[in-house]
Amino acid sequence: MSRIEALFARKNPVFIGFTVAGDPGIEASFGVAKTMIDAGADLLEIAAPYSDPVADGPVIERAHVRALRAGTTTGDVFALVRRVREHAPATPLVLFTYHNIIHRRGADRFFAEAAASGADGVLIVDLPAEESDEVAPYAARHGVDRIALIAPTTSPERQRTILKDASGFVYLISLEGVTGERDRLPPGLAGLVGAVREKTDLPLAVGFGVSRPEHVRTVVAAGANGVIVGSALVRLIEEHAGDEAAMHAGLRTAIAALRGGFALDPEPDMLRRERVEG
């Protein structure tokens, strides 16, 4: 059983944190990852910095820029994953990346290095299902899960195509648009979770826009197995980039508060309205 499978088998729901490797600096990013895990991130997504992160909003875009300006390379990303793995042997680690990074390095080499560094899964944001054969054999060869992405606009037929070769867990995008904090999550989230649940036995985790404890509870009440928080945590890194003590304190406080959403009212106002109106 993989670390991802073992986590979802023993824990429901799980809290998934996100950070960009090399943000705000190569060495500092290890401290960020360590603090997130120690503060309660059950699984950590580590993004390889990229010059054109089209799925990301301004907060995470700026994190990619900071990491690239710090000189972060793909080799540095694997070195960071290796250090995090040594710190947290049981914590699942997922690389969040764009296909060009894999293409330039070579898919076989990339997945071999990912596995050797201790990564459990890879999420490729911009690789369409029709082109997944470029990476699927190498991910399977090296035992690395390929995390699928499904959006609210994904048709049922396309959901089935995407899920056919998915493993680890499924990343459900909660809303139309890019990453970033929102005041509220859109209605219909429970419907998306339910529709995908009918097509797969893999755990479902929801991200994009999740930034408050009440959002966490909404995601859990919708039936998801995991909650993914990115921009709200990356913003704290940006705000305290010159004060690492404040940065780590802010991350610990934020993760504790967000995890507190697991214990909130199991039927938030948004879901209550969906039930009554639907």
Catalytic residues: 45, 56
Position 83: which residue type? R
Residue 195: left if φ>0, alpha if ψ -120 to 50, beta else—which one?
Answer: alpha
191-199 LR contacts (CB < 8 Å, sep 24+): 191/274, 192/150, 192/152, 192/222, 193/222, 193/223, 193/224, 194/223, 195/156, 195/159, 196/150, 196/159, 196/163, 196/170, 196/172, 197/223, 199/156, 199/159, 199/160, 199/163
